[in-house]
């Protein structure tokens, strides 16, 4: 019999993290643990205030499926028992972890990933200073809002002339501002722009002539969204906390590829427990943004780390599951 438990944890950040919707100083997460046959699996979810989630509500959602899991419900059944979000993500990933441990199969080590390193919103001068510290970064992600994003973007680009550059507006732009920013995005060599318009207004992107690809983030949750997104966006940002776990994320990945959409794999401010699951999808992505644990004052022991060359190194063996027995990112 499988025993499911849930706990809320709070992880302080090393410094404030500011995006268009506000500033964070703490990562509140919910951790699900599934135990069976003397082994356990762990999964972490980060509740998103954007969708009305809290850590306590996510914990209560997890508790609501304790009996179902004890009675034999698995990952596919879980998709019907819980809505997409942090709670389902935590339980789904815990089940993947447990299944891999029960398989007890070895495998090759995971490869490092070139992750985006994020520059949060601040004055252009301070954003330039933050970018200067990322001289070795292969990919830099710039958070902007509607307050002179051109100045912020130019300030960062001047400090990282060789890096791949991604811009994330987090729903803060209007269609007029998006049009004004097209030459600036091209001038700065931006690889793609994330979620410029509010999700409720993104139908306007259907006929919009763009200078760089546009990636859906807040508009993209599950595979069922893809037919709508394919007429508005060029890419989707897959985050396990939005999709409700690795199971749905793999469906989303396969569906995006079938429609010719590019794929980014992102994360919230989280511990390495969240990143370990997202790593499997990132193997097949065009861009990874998995720097969430790097914002924490302290991460879980054995988690991810950044090497001297700016590459994100995988968690230590056994931190989460086994390499063999985990899903193929191209399934």
Strand 116-119 vs strand 287-288: parallel, antiparallel, or unpaired? unpaired
- CATH code, domain carrying 163: 3.20.20.120
- Please state, as a whole number, how many other Cβ atoms lie within 10 Å of the Cβ of residue 97: 27
Residues 94 and 128 both lie in one domain: no
Residue at 36 is within a domain: yes
Residues 99 and 124 both lie in one domain: no
Residue at 111 is within a domain: no
Residue at 323 is within a domain: no
Strand 287-288 vs strand 262-265: parallel, antiparallel, or unpaired? parallel
CA 175, CA 188: separation in Å to the nearest integer?
20
Split at pLDDT 50, 70, 90, the class of 323 is low
Query: Last residue of some domain: 68, 103, 138?
Result: 103
> Among candidates 105, 101, 106, 104, which has minimal Cα distance to 40?
101
Residue at 330 is within a domain: no
Query: Last residue of some domain: 51, 71, 103?
Result: 103
First to last CA, the chain: 29
Element (H, E) at 19: strand 3-19
pLDDT of residue 61: 98
Split at pLDDT 50, 70, 90, the class of 18 is confident
Residue 319 has pLDDT above 70, yes or no: yes
Count up the domains in the chain and report the number: 2
Residues 300 and 176 both lie in one domain: yes
Residue 330 has pLDDT above 50, yes or no: no
Residue 105 has pLDDT above 80, yes or no: no
Split at pLDDT 50, 70, 90, the class of 309 is confident
List the structure tokens of 310: 């700016």
- Is residue 180 within 8 A of residue 208, CB to CB? The reply is no
Among residues 15, 141, 143, 242, the one annotated as catalytic is: 143
Average pLDDT on 266-270 reads 96
Query: Last residue of some domain: 52, 78, 103?
Result: 103
Average pLDDT on 82-88 reads 98
Residues 72 and 158 both lie in one domain: no
Residues 95 and 142 both lie in one domain: no
Residue recorded with tokens 């990952």: 75
Residues 53 and 193 both lie in one domain: no
Chain centre distance of CA 31: 17
Query: What is the three-class DSSP state of 189?
Result: coil
Residue 52 has pLDDT above 50, yes or no: yes
Average pLDDT on 84-107 reads 90
> Among candidates 230, 186, 188, which has minimal Cα distance to 210?
186
Is residue 309 packed enough to be buried (19+ CB in 10 Å), middle (13-18) or exposed (0-12)? Answer: exposed
List the structure tokens of 298: 């302290």
Average pLDDT on 142-162 reads 97
Residues 86 and 209 both lie in one domain: no
Split at pLDDT 50, 70, 90, the class of 331 is very low
Split at pLDDT 50, 70, 90, the class of 1 is confident
Residues 90 and 124 both lie in one domain: no
Residue 317 has pLDDT above 90, yes or no: no
Residue at 11 is within a domain: yes
Residues 120 and 255 both lie in one domain: yes
pLDDT tens, residue by residue, 107-130: 667 889 999 999 999 999 999 999
> Among candidates 75, 68, 76, 111, which has minimal Cα distance to 96?
75
Q: What integer best gives the mean pLDDT of the chain?
A: 94
pLDDT of residue 146: 97
pLDDT tens, residue by residue, 192-238: 999 999 999 999 999 999 999 999 999 999 999 999 999 999 999 99
Does residue 47 or residue 15 have the better pLDDT?
A: 47
Residues 35 and 183 both lie in one domain: no
What is the domain range of residue 150? 116-313
Residue 106 has pLDDT above 70, yes or no: no
Among residues 15, 141, 239, 242, the one annotated as catalytic is: 239
Residue at 319 is within a domain: no
- CATH code, domain carrying 36: 3.30.390.10
pLDDT of residue 248: 98
- Is residue 34 within 8 A of residue 47, CB to CB? The reply is no
Query: What is the three-class DSSP state of 201?
Result: helix
226 backbone dihedrals φ, ψ, rounded to 5°:
-70, -35
Residue 324 has pLDDT above 60, yes or no: no
Residue 255 has pLDDT above 90, yes or no: yes
Residues 136 and 233 both lie in one domain: yes
pLDDT of residue 232: 98
Residues 158 and 254 both lie in one domain: yes
Active-site residue flag, 239: yes
Residue at 331 is within a domain: no
Residue at 320 is within a domain: no
- Is residue 246 within 8 A of residue 96, CB to CB? The reply is yes
């Amino acid at each position: 019999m499988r025993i499911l438990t849930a706990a809320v944890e709070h992880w302080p950040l090393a410094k404030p993290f500011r995006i268009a919707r506000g500033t964070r100083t703490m990562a509140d997460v919910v951790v699900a643990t599934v135990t069976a046959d003397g082994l356990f699996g762990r999964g972490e979810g980060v509740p998103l205030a954007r969708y009305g989630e809290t850590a306590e509500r996510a914990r209560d959602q997890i508790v609501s499926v304790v009996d179902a899991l004890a009675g034999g419900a698995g990952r596919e059944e879980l998709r019907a028992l819980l809505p997409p979000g942090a709670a389902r993500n935590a339980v789904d990933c815990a089940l993947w972890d447990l299944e891999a441990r029960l398989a007890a199969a070895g495998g090759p080590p995971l490869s490092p990933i070139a992750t985006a390193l994020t520059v949060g919103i601040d004055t252009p001068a301070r954003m330039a200073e933050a970018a200067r510290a990322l001289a070795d970064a292969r990919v830099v992600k710039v958070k902007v809002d509607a307050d002179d994003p051109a100045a912020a973007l130019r300030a960062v680009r001047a400090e990282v002339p060789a890096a791949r550059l991604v811009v994330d507006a987090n729903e803060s732009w209007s269609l007029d501002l998006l049009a004004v920013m097209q030459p600036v995005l091209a001038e700065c060599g931006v690889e793609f722009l994330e979620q410029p318009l509010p999700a409720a207004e993104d139908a306007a992107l259907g006929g919009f002539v763009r200078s760089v690809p546009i990636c859906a983030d807040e508009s993209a949750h599950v595979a069922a969204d893809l037919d709508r997104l394919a007429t508005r966006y060029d890419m989707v940002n897959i985050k396990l906390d939005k999709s409700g776990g690795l199971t749905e994320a793999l469906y989303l990945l396969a569906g995006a590829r079938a429609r010719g959409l590019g794929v980014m794999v992102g994360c919230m401010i989280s511990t390495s427990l969240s990143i370990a699951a997202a790593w499997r999808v990132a193997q097949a992505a065009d861009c990874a943004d998995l720097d969430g644990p790097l914002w924490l004052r302290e991460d879980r022991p054995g988690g991810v780390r950044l090497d001297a060359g700016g590459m994100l190194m995988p968690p230590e063996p056994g931190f989460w599951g086994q390499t063999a027995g985990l899903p193929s990112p191209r399934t």
